[in-house]
Amino acid sequence: MKKVKIGKSQVETAPLGLGTNKVGGHNLFPDLSESDGRQVVRAALESGIQLLDTAFMYGKGRSEELIGEVIADFPRDQVIIADKAAHDFSSGEMILNNEPQFLKKSVDDALKRLKTDYIDIFYIHFPDEKTPKSEAVGALQDMRAAGKIRAIGISNFTLEQAIDANRDGYVDVVENYYSLIHRDEEKKLFPYLKDEHISFVPYFPLESGLLTGKYTKDSTFDEHDPRSKNEKFTGESFRKTMNAVDAIRPIAQRHQVDVLQVVLAWYLANPDLTAVIPGARNAGQIPGIARAAEVRLSNDEYELIDQAFAAE
């Protein structure tokens, strides 16, 4: 896979990465197996995936610890770690905290859990309400100067907040919600990022499995399944997404792959996106993700996929 550069930093990575909120993310997903989590990370790295997207919030540090265990078996420069912090539990309840001292301590603590001496990309996970954004980013710039991180990211920032955060030009990458069925950032954020040479990494690229092709219009979820209460998996919204998925099935058939690979190939071909970080629940899902790197969409196919989802 051709490498991509993260913003104006020296970080380069293969663009197909792995989201790891299901690696040790016990506070977010029930019944996760840690052994599955370790195997997911190992299988990803063995298949050529480099970029591992984690956060303190995934298991309150557990995702970082599991990743630290696995990457010890790989050359450090083959792994690109993207980590995040902002959730502060020190008062007994969770608050978002972007204070410089908190962010610096978060980097130091994450380095220990990951058992490494640098983190490739460090994101402010969410903006808080009180810290001036450029001061928060300034704290990460200090950590970069100290060699502890290599690139600076912000996540879940609006355009206005991103402009504030990037006042000194230190921001390399933004990670926000974006998918084929959630494209608000195209008009809002992307023109600014392009002008400022800031990378964009979308999260929820597979819409929690909706865009893998494994569901059809007839799929139903029983009342104990949380998807039965998720509006994207029910009613008109679900029907529209399944129509669009059906419209791109012939492209998948032509390439002899599944919808999942075609969807990931679309993100990889999208000039507004730098990297893509699909999540996986078990190592068995990794070959399907890794195979997306082999799919080359023609311009017509790219447009057809774009239109199938835009039309719905």
Q: Is residue 161 a contact point for ligand NAP (CB under 6 A)?
A: no
Which are the catalytic amino acids?
Answer: 58
Q: How is the chain split among helix, strand and coil, in percent rounded to 5? A: 45, 15, 40
Q: Are strands 87-88 and 95-96 parallel, antiparallel or unpaired?
A: antiparallel
Q: Does 98 engage in binding with ligand NAP (CB under 6 A)?
A: no
Q: Interface with ligand NAP includes 273 (CB under 6 A)? A: no
- 128 touches 154 (CB < 8 A): no
* Residue 214 sits in the site that holds ligand NAP (CB under 6 A): yes
- In whole angstroms, how close is the CB of 232 to ligand NAP at the nearest point? 11
Asked if residues 225 and 215 have their Cβ atoms less than 8 Å apart, the reply is: no
CB under 6 A: which stretch of 98-106, 181-189, 197-205, 245-253 binds ligand NAP?
197-205
Can you tell me which of 13, 50, 156, 274 binds ligand NAP, judged by CB under 6 A? 156
How many Cβ atoms are within 10 Å of 220's Cβ, its own excluded? 11
175 interacts with ligand NAP by CB under 6 A: yes
Stretch that binds ligand NAP, among 8-16, 88-96, 106-114, 283-291 (CB under 6 A): 283-291
97 vs 147, which CB is nearer to ligand NAP? 97
Q: Which of 97, 212, 270, 274 binds ligand NAP (CB under 6 A)?
A: 212
Q: Which amino acid is at 24?
A: G
| 279 makes contact with ligand NAP (CB under 6 A) | yes
107: phi then psi, degrees, rounded to nearest 5: -65, -45
Q: Does 277 sit near ligand NAP (CB under 6 A)?
A: yes
Q: Which amino acid is located at 213 in the chain?
A: G
- Report the residue number, 121 or 289, with the smaller CB distance to ligand NAP: 289
Residue 78: burial class (beta carbons within 10 Å; 0-12, 13-18, 19+):
exposed
Between CA 36 and CA 311 the distance in angstroms is: 38
Return the ∠ at Cα 51 (arms to 203 and 88), rounded to 5°.
Answer: 60
59 interacts with ligand NAP by CB under 6 A:
no
DSSP designation for 52: E
Site string for ligand NAP, 36-55 (x = CB under 6 A): -----------------x--
Give the side-chain half-sphere CA count within 13 A for 101.
0
Among 20, 50, 97, 241, binds ligand NAP (CB under 6 A): 20
What's the closest the beta carbon of residue 3 comes to ligand NAP, in angstroms?
20
Q: Residue 199 interacts with ligand NAP (CB under 6 A)? A: no
Q: Which is nearer to ligand NAP, 143 or 206 (CB)?
A: 206
Vertex 208, ends 121 and 311: CA angle to 5°? 105
Separation CA 172–CA 165 (nearest Å): 11
Give the binding site for ligand NAP (CB under 6 A).
Answer: 19-22, 53, 155-156, 175, 203-209, 212, 214, 260, 277-281, 285, 288-289
